[in-house]
Structure 1
């Protein structure tokens, strides 16, 4: 969405100090959250999962043993300057080469990020340099300094053995499993956290988890011990943004309250302050969701944040207004 001046003026908070926000996640969900945060604050740090093993990211990861750059690229693009320079470089980073050749399917931004990592030998320095190129209004950091692989315990992968629990390995396979995901873990266990990411969580005024693929974008941060400790001990307030679509893909059969219960099971000492949900995703689960949120210390905030023109997605402007209202 391109922000018009009057829309920005109506959303920007007062002249006081804007909140420092650490937004955790990956993929399209994190990108939506980052775009919504920009009218609210200019002090944004994205902490991005590094478990992707599909597409261009998976190919680069396998060939060069590097962090998968795709989700990091998307976060940088979401934070780009809205100047002509920033938008043109955003489009360049997001450009994907066509065809079936060696470059086919690769995003240019993935190749640029991989090249800078090779030149600089430092993933954080490489991402900071791309951020400068884009005029990014915030910083993008990996959750870990080494690529991780997601492994899930899944019930009913085999339709002929519905009560059998199997292990499913890899982000793509977990995200598309036909069974019910019971729990996830990371390999290596534990991975080496990005120190700057843990510090950003400790320094934040607000930490936002979600939206995003629950087991493959939101949950992995809780499985990195240093990040989990930072989430538990930070003085920031913690907000969980629920997805616009429940009961699909890796969370097939899950209600809104099930999402919270899974979070609590993986990080029982994690306290939340706010759970933000569009009324459409609650749908008969209101009392249970309120009780589950309260058990984690959180208030359930209902806000109309759905995009009426694109079912199942957040509207950037409405989500921005909800973030502003909650943070104020």
Structure 2
């Protein structure tokens, strides 16, 4: 097969993108052509007027109107030449205007095509928090920009807990993770937002910044500037050019409580999201304190407008269920037209889901929410990766199917870190459900 030179191949594919349906460009090129034709009609009438008034020498008039050519060419040649000049000017103008924002080795047409395709992508709502959901969001950005992450506000540990106690903020940690996943320059912004300050250099080696993630401090600063946490999220969306939205499930100051069955057969009530996994027992029930909080209105709107609603992946008790304990949000899920799917974790989580199967995960969900809030479960079926790969000790969730709920399985595992989902595989499985 004859090879095409890289430059010619680049020009071909770059040019062909301009003609893909739905780009939103051809209509404006047509309008430009019509406008040029109307302006040209005025120029022609001006030439006729100058010739009739004898203000223009006949030789100049014949030259300008191509009288020296056969009649068909007097029409075809200006159309061809004028059309080529218009297209060339538009291409050069587009390149000049987008040059400051251009990524090397990426054509303007390709960028516009990808932007148009993702802008017309499905509305997907992801509900959860923690470290599981950002991988899904990263994968989904290859297909759509219409992504809304609804995140729990029950976190009370680490940097988030300190900021929550000291400044009265909603815990920013889970929001930071998902904002990083949706940012345009995701690789760099993840490093920036996740950067944690270390110990200070000095005699005592301690600093008030020690342990804080930069992204948490950024959201704290934006909250102080804008006056509220939800406005801070909107500001972060603009500043970081997010490819979606990150919203809280509620703006209320809530705490997560759990009733835990201890090994000796007694029950213990634990309050605080970070304390729950530390208790040596089996979680029986969780709840919010207070329980009658109102959902964030924008989150409800996103649920009603969604084409698909995804719960997870993430910690079952401390990332997913805290959102589903908000009464208004559960009511919205019951009446939403979109399919509602649960992405089961790859591995059990110590202190939360020890020895849980897929059926156990789903049964726990239905213990806390109505069955109408869930239509399908997705689970990983690749259990062949060695559990100790990546330095971990992965205990896979067994594929016991849930009762009265369809289960779809696929290879979803990140082979380097088998306790986590591969974002690209997971997003592809989710998009297959839509298609």
TM-score of the two chains, using structure 2 as the length reference: 0.66
Q: Which residue of 168, 171, 178 corresponds with 1:65?
A: 168
**Superposed displacement of residue 62, structure 1:** 0.4
Larger Rg: 2
Q: Match of 1:263, SS?
A: helix
- Once the two structures are superposed, residues 72-129 of structure 1 have per-residue CA deviations (whole angstroms, 9 ceiling, x without a partner) of 11110010103xxx65444322211111310000111111111211221222221111
Q: Structure 1 residues 121 and 15, CA, compared in 2 at 3 Å: closer, same or farther?
A: closer
Deviation at 1:203, TM superposition (A): 1.0
- Find out whether 1:274 has 2:376 as its counterpart: yes
8 Å contact 2:260–2:282 — kept in the other structure? Answer: yes
Corresponding residue number in structure 2 for 1:96: 196
Seen in structure 2, the aligned counterparts of structure 1 residues 271 and 223 have a Cα distance that, compared at 3 Å, is: closer
CA RMSD of aligned residues (A): 2.5
Contact 2:341–2:377 (Cα < 8 Å) also in 1: yes
- Residues 269-290 of structure 1: per-residue CA shift (max 9 Å, x gap): 434222110014798954x51x
Query: Hey, what does 2:433 align to over in structure 1?
Result: 326
- Pick the aligned partner of 1:173 from 275, 290, 294: 275
Partner of 1:185: 287
Task: Note if 1:125 corresponds to 2:125.
Answer: no
User: Which residue of 1 is the match for residue 254 of structure 2?
Assistant: 148
Q: Distance between the aligned counterparts of 1:263 and 1:308, measured in 2?
A: 28
Conserved in 2, the CA contact under 8 Å of 1:180 and 1:253?
no
Measured in 2, the distance between the counterparts of 1:78 and 1:285 equals 29
Deviation, 1:317, is: 1.7
SS of equivalent residue, structure 1 residue 184: strand
Larger RCO, structure (CA 8 Å, separation 6 or more): 1
With over 3 angstroms needed to count, the CA separation of the structure-2 counterparts of 1:70 and 1:229, relative to structure 1, is: same
Instruction: State the alpha-carbon separation in 1 of the partners of residues 373 and 256 from structure 2.
Output: 24
- Distance in 1 of aligned mates of 2:116 and 2:349: 35
Task: Please state whether the residue corresponding to 1:322 is helix, strand or coil.
Answer: helix
Q: Which moved more, 1:136-145 or 1:261-270?
A: 261-270
Match of 2:415 in 1: 308
**Counterparts of 1:246 and 1:313, CA distance in 2:** 11
Q: Could you say which residue in structure 2 is the equivalent of 1:317?
A: 424
- Tell me, yes or no, if structure 1 residue 36 matches structure 2 residue 139: yes
Is the Cα contact below 8 Å between 2:414 and 2:420 reproduced in 1? yes
Aligned pair in 2 of structure 1 residues 307, 89: CA closer, same or farther (>3 Å)?
Answer: closer
The whole-number CA distance in structure 1 between the counterparts of 2:428 and 2:348 is 23
When structure 1 is superposed on structure 2, of 58-67 and 128-137 the one drifting more is 128-137
- Number of residue pairs aligned between Structure 1 and Structure 2: 308
Deviations 1:27-65 (A, max 9, x none): 111111211211122100000001111111000000111
Q: In structure 2, the residue corresponding to 1:106 is in which secondary structure? A: coil
**Secondary structure of the structure 2 residue equivalent to 1:150:** strand
TM-superposed deviation, 1:247: 5.6
- Tell me the SS of whatever aligns to 2:352: helix
Distance (whole Å) between structure 1 residues aligned to residue 137 and residue 213 of structure 2: 20
Is the 2:355–2:397 contact (alpha carbons within 8 Å) kept by the matching residues of 1? no
Is residue 12–residue 40 contact of structure 1 (8 Å, CA) maintained in 2? no
Among 51, 55, 62, the residue aligned to 2:158 = 55
1: CA distance, partners of 2:282 / 2:233: 35
